[in-house]
Structure 1
């Protein structure tokens, strides 16, 4: 069954200009232009995945606020207004989802899945207490070392190093990840992390309350970025919400070893929520189960 799905569903990498920034988009499915393609087989829902990290010009694109504006701009520019949306966020992506719901209330969001959500008090978490001083006090030293060591390093050497790392952790990817060792990318990661530690403090209960019926939270039991105390707090404040605690000891960085487990779990959740499309649309024809990511 798995091999059949892999043969039928195409996955490809594209780059689009969004907020005057070249943006990588990984698409799953045969569709190329959702806005201009009016084919009857066009999907009725779009799954928009926001990992742990548009026509307007965006200031501070690689900062926390800029990343939020970038995602909103992408959805407004490249996705049809009547396209129903399912959000899936991981870590910081969950915070971005909350901000999208807050600042773009016109988007027709069916459901949001927030995995291992770092949506509050990041600097106070076990990992946050370690990372905060590093990205705050030693950020510029890291910049200097990164550029002096990696800038002159040939891409072939970077690719070889990445392949060795991936073999050690037994991780497979369909696309080259040489950007991981690009100084520009590493510097922006640290820059964004510094803003996360400083700015993500209080949980936005107002937006959670407004969209609670269309949200699923998934917390980990061994997550050093989001301790179980945060799960207990939100569960206490929103007892009627769909707030779950992982029982499989899956770590925060699940993509390294548990990507298949999470994929199967999320697929089941999405399938349960697809019925909402028929309720929200005037189209009386059977809901297509084709999804575009």
Structure 2
């Protein structure tokens, strides 16, 4: 099935007191209230990196959906405040007891994802969590806190789960995000007045060195011309640098030590690495998932 024929649904909601964008691939829009059809038993849920804009993952999500023969829904939930809802859009408000303290911070984003799962995923639905970058750290924390959530498996893609501030990029970004991020707000405010076509051209110019940049990534990047979205992303980033320190080996051993019944434990990593070399990321992803299903 080509991407043009993949069912795509996009919505903006309030979750934990913050604007949230949800991208859904597949015909299942509301798992809590399915319209006649039998609800799926498994949901793939993507937890993004930073900035946590779901549009960056659209092509990847469609590939997962098609790669698994359209059997399972694939969703992505944005980070709190990293999206810009359409002007005039009527969004239902949370009740007061669902508002999360410091929802734009790192801990608040973890609680935000747990709140989303609690409100939108049936208790008997098994989750396959897919984390990207800081989303992997969020998943590890979710697994520690959500003991009542049925997590079938977690897939960590390019994980940033330790000593972020000590990395070469972190040494540059830490002072920028922690002390100098306010300097960026005024240029962003001025750029926000540009027409979207000009903003899109600017994004394409910045990304010109990256191969295979699709239009969904360009459209997603337009959120960063909204000062509030960029500010929330940078604020979260500042906390990442200060709070993501030592790797949580205890959690990793506890939750990521399942062995596949189909691949001998001593050969599992070898098989996955070999498949990475010989095939695509999607095939490797499918192999990894199927070994636990």
Under a length normalisation based on structure 1, what TM-score does the superposition of the two structures give? 0.71
Matched, 1:46 2:43: yes
Is the contact between residue 275 and residue 284 of structure 2 (CA under 8 Å) also seen in structure 1? no
Matched, 1:152 2:193: yes
Aligned length: 239
CA shift, 1:143, in A, is 2.4
Distance 1:22 1:133, change over 3 A: closer
CA shift, 1:88, in A, is 0.6
Distance 1:179 1:200, change over 3 A: same
Matched, 1:18 2:60: no
Matched, 1:195 2:239: yes
Matched residues in 1 for 2:267 and 2:146: separation? Answer: 22
Matched residues in 2 for 1:215 and 1:171: separation? Answer: 36
Matched residues in 2 for 1:134 and 1:249: separation? Answer: 36
1:50-61 mapped onto 2 (5 Å cutoff): 50-52=47-49, 53=52, 56-61=98-103
Is the contact between residue 113 and residue 215 of structure 1 (CA under 8 Å) also seen in structure 2? no
Is the contact between residue 19 and residue 57 of structure 1 (CA under 8 Å) also seen in structure 2? yes
Residue in structure 2 matched with residue 136 of structure 1 by the alignment: 178
Alignment RMSD (CA, Å) = 3.1
Give 4+ residue runs of structure 1 displaced > 4 Å after superposition.
Answer: 163-168, 239-250
Residue in structure 1 matched with residue 282 of structure 2 by the alignment: 263
Residue in structure 2 matched with residue 257 of structure 1 by the alignment: none
Distance 1:242 1:99, change over 3 A: farther
Q: Secondary structure at the match of 2:118?
A: helix
Q: Which residue, 170, 175, 182 being the options, matches 2:226?
A: 182
Residue in structure 1 matched with residue 85 of structure 2 by the alignment: none
CA shift, 1:168, in A, is 5.7
CA shift, 1:163, in A, is 4.5
Matched, 1:111 2:108: no
Residue in structure 2 matched with residue 86 of structure 1 by the alignment: 128
Distance 1:128 1:174, change over 3 A: closer
CA shift, 1:135, in A, is 1.4
Distance 1:13 1:173, change over 3 A: farther
Residue in structure 1 matched with residue 59 of structure 2 by the alignment: none
Under a length normalisation based on structure 2, what TM-score does the superposition of the two structures give? 0.71
CA shift, 1:16, in A, is 2.1
1:37-86 residue CA offsets vs partner (Å, 9 max, x unmatched) = 17453211001111103871012221101111110000000110110000
Is the contact between residue 166 and residue 172 of structure 1 (CA under 8 Å) also seen in structure 2? no
Q: Secondary structure at the match of 1:213?
A: coil
CA shift, 1:159, in A, is 2.9
Matched, 1:162 2:203: yes
Is the contact between residue 111 and residue 215 of structure 1 (CA under 8 Å) also seen in structure 2? no
Distance 1:243 1:145, change over 3 A: farther
